[in-house]
A and B are shown apart, each in its own frame.
Chain A
Amino acid sequence: NAGVMQNPRHLVRRRGQEARLRCSPVKGHSHVYWYRQLPEEGLKFMVYLQKENIIDESGMPKERFSAEFPKEGPSILRIQQVVRGDSAAYFCASSHSQGAGNTEAFFGQGTRLTVV
């Protein structure tokens, strides 16, 4: 998967707690995408970020979810006050540029969030 690192791989949270999911993109990639995947369903776009900027958050729930991609360090997807319906696999992908060429996205192995 070309070096996209996500951690933790598995995360268990009680209802009402906060979940923090981290994604380190491929070295040199400045575009990060977050997706959610429910069992037996496809990938659902959540948010697209470039360094220090949110470009498209049309797939993010309006409340409790936030994402950032700081100048230094990994991208973080934060879910506050988790509920059982947040249980899913969350995947991060990164890409190099938006111009022609080298625009394919590479994925991490995902973080499986379980809310109990």
Chain B
Amino acid sequence: QKEVEQDPGPLSVPEGAIVSLNCTYSNSAFQYFMWYRQYSRKGPELLMYTYSSGNKEDGRFTAQVDKSSKYISLFIRDSQPSDSATYLCAMRGYQKVTFGTGTKLQVIP
């Protein structure tokens, strides 16, 4: 079993839709949770960073962490074509960051 499982893509949605991206994990030592956005042929860009269970909002993005279920989510409201990218969840305990395989999102105008 992989330490981090990410829902498979690709995911295609119409402009303006609410997007839900999810990851589950098995390592209870993970304490810090991140979401990255990666455009084609670019490096991953940090979007959201959370520590505790609950919600964290930043503009159209909301990160949700449920440590009891070992489940994290990223919600994108009012999705735009510019949100089309691969989204990677990431998490870490004390040392290295472990990534999900990524979900490719396409927002259709």
Which residues in A have some Cβ–Cβ distance to B below 8 Å?
Answer: 1-2, 4, 6, 33, 35, 41-43, 45, 48, 55-56, 89, 91, 93, 98, 100, 103-110, 112
Interface residues on B, range: 20 to 34
Chain B residues whose CB sits within 8 angstroms of the CB of A89 once the complex forms: 41
Do B42 and A109 have beta carbons less than 8 Å apart? yes
Residue in chain B with minimal CB distance to A9:
B41
Chain A residues whose CB sits within 8 angstroms of the CB of B95 once the complex forms: 48, 55-56, 98
Interface majority SS on B: helix, strand, loop or mixed? strand
Do A42 and B88 have beta carbons less than 8 Å apart? yes
Q: Which of B61-69, B74-82, B98-106 contacts A (4 or more CB under 8 A)?
A: B98-106
Given contacts A42-B88, A42-B100, contact A104 B49 (CB under 8 A): yes
B14 within 8 A of partner (CB): no
Which residues in B have some Cβ–Cβ distance to A below 8 Å?
Answer: 6, 32, 34, 36, 41-46, 49, 51, 88, 90, 92, 94-102
User: Among A55, A91, A106, which residue has its beta carbon within 8 angstroms of that of B46?
Assistant: A106
Given contacts A41-B101, A42-B88, A104-B32, contact A91 B96 (CB under 8 A): no
Q: Output the least CB separation between A22 and chain B (Å).
A: 15
Docked CA distance A109–B46 (Å): 13
User: Among B45, B51, B90, B97, which residue has its beta carbon within 8 angstroms of that of A1?
Assistant: B45
Do B96 and A104 have beta carbons less than 8 Å apart? no
Docked CA distance A109–B100 (Å): 19
Do A42 and B97 have beta carbons less than 8 Å apart? no
Docked CA distance A106–B43 (Å): 9
Q: Output the least CB separation between B86 and chain A (Å).
A: 8
User: Among B41, B90, B96, which residue has its beta carbon within 8 angstroms of that of A48?
Assistant: B96
Chain B residues whose CB sits within 8 angstroms of the CB of A43 once the complex forms: 44, 88, 99, 102
